Structure 1
Amino acid sequence: MRSKSKPAAARLLIVIGRGLAAGFAPDLVWHFQQGGFETRIALAPEAEGWAAPEALRALSGAPVLFHEPHPAWVERTDVFAATVAIGLSPATISDLTRGVARASALDLMLRRGGPLFLLHEPFPDEGGPVARECAALGHTLVELPRHPGTWRKTFERLLSDVVSLLSRRSSLAAFPVAVSRTVPAPLATLAGDAPAWLAELKRQLRRLGFPVSDAAPEHAPRLHIETYEGPFPLPEKKGRSSALSVTLDPTAAETPSIESPGVLHVRFLHPDAPETAVRALADTGMLVVRRQPLGHLIVSDGSGDRLLPDVTAQPAFLRFAELLADRLSQPAG
């Protein structure tokens, strides 16, 4: 049945790998075509001997990208609405996480793939780091059940998830985001680089469809995210047994006025920030976030605290981006 909540003829890239999953790929393609998507198919190097290009061409209605010469559609520059990959080998997935394009299909995914949904059979134990890196990059990991007879239901859920993501991305395009870092002038020389996790937060926001730019937004931002985390190390001195550090008092920073309807203010604090200060900021209408050493997030507002655990399949920053999207989509007042 054709979905009514998705723009007609959104173009989807489907990348097929090896194994039993490759044998089920035509069923996957069929599901997305029934959902109203225009599909283009590319084969990863490991698909040799597993996938039938001519049969897939007949199913999708367009030539399949595998060996040269490349189909004309490959030369387009527009980004696909999304990419769904199935049956990729751990080596190919590792290449993706490192941005290495050893084949035409991977190059296309990296250049024009859009949000990536990665259908995979259970990873071996040594595949854990690759899975975590995929999730940190904003890719959606979907583990196929051990019994292939249930894969059809997985494909149906995936279709729903892709439609939901595209619908959300469309609505969030109207919510410019401003991300800043506050460091008091006396501590500017001690601050060092911005926290490394800030890049992951931006990736997850962009994946959902928030317009995040390192430059100032062209339009008034609807979402302000500020880091004010500390601590800042003080230089070691003679006679001091160990280095000391300063953790900022979060109430000392200028608190933005929470008056504009539809504007959401977020402030990241150090996990050791005093609870009284956290509550004081949360009571102003601001979302206060403390990132824990293992990556979990504690989000505080006027109603209390909420824990967002950091797990491979759904990183804490993805959960947080979804929370922000839900907050902004609520009617003002």
Structure 2
Amino acid sequence: MTMDVKEIGRLSARVLDRVGTVVVGKRSALELVLAGILAGGHVLLEDLPGLGKTLTARSFAQALGLDFRRLQFTPDLLPADVTGSFLYDQRTHDFTFRAGPIFTNFLLADEINRTPPKTQAALLEAMQEKQVSVEGVTYRLDPPFHVLATANPIEYEGTYPLPEAQLDRFLLRVSFGYPDPEEELSVLSRRMERKREESELDAVVDAQTLLRMQAGLEEIEVEESIGRYLVALTAATREHHAVLVGASPRGSLALLLLSRARAAMAGRDYVIPEDVKQVAQPALAHRITLRPEMWLKRVDPASVVNDVLAATPAPMSGAVPYQQRSAAQLDELEFHR
């Protein structure tokens, strides 16, 4: 059963307000994280240490009423430590499956780039297919299932960069950045008022309600001109002079899903170009591979996305979908064509 888009917007605002009582002053970044969850995807938080990445994951799990597990990725972590393994039971003289921490609703993969690629790859099937295969036996993961991974972008010794195939599985990549002085002071004040280290949030929704919110996104209308705009943005990343490999069609799909989520969070049942522009950088930047010489020039993939946004004409669709326009608006659109 789906949920009305107005109700999705109202509950989304309540979840953000609840998380915002702990994670101070990062509303726009928190909105992106929630958009990724509503869109049914996985989120990569890549930022400096101590900026609230782990706190954000725990707070969203509490506010959304989801079963939460945190897995610390280390160099000696094995794939079986993620997915689980078969153990011999001496009482039954048979092997029984012991489920790993991936069997949860909300998995925090903390410092995912500190574990070898073999263990990183243990997440691929779960993130894409929502299932786990161990020794030829496949186990389905109970919905909803989301991975929120953290990574430190400045430490390279003892880390294993995520391969492009795994980065592509994340619907978006989000960074918080440093708070301003007033926000940092608010963090200190709230810690003193709390009189303890850990913060506990009451749930705003539960797992079943979240699934209804996610199903409601399928009713969000995407006009053909918006769809063409999504494809044009993704295609333009492949033709940029600084890019070796541009975003794949999965990038277009990420733009579509996240734009729908942004529209629902705003209480709209249709997508407008501004929704696409707001999610373009977090959805596409991590899917772009720059030419080697661009690294020497310190070119950032985010700047490539900004160039693409500036160069790609947005559709003249106004603020309402095609079916809801007046006759005068339709005549004006035909004139511009």
TM over 0.5: no
Higher relative contact order (CA 8 A, sep 6+): 2
Query: Which structure shows the bigger proportion of residues in helix conformation?
Result: 2
**Structure with greater Cα Rg:** 1
Q: What is the TM-score of this pair, normalised by structure 2?
A: 0.32
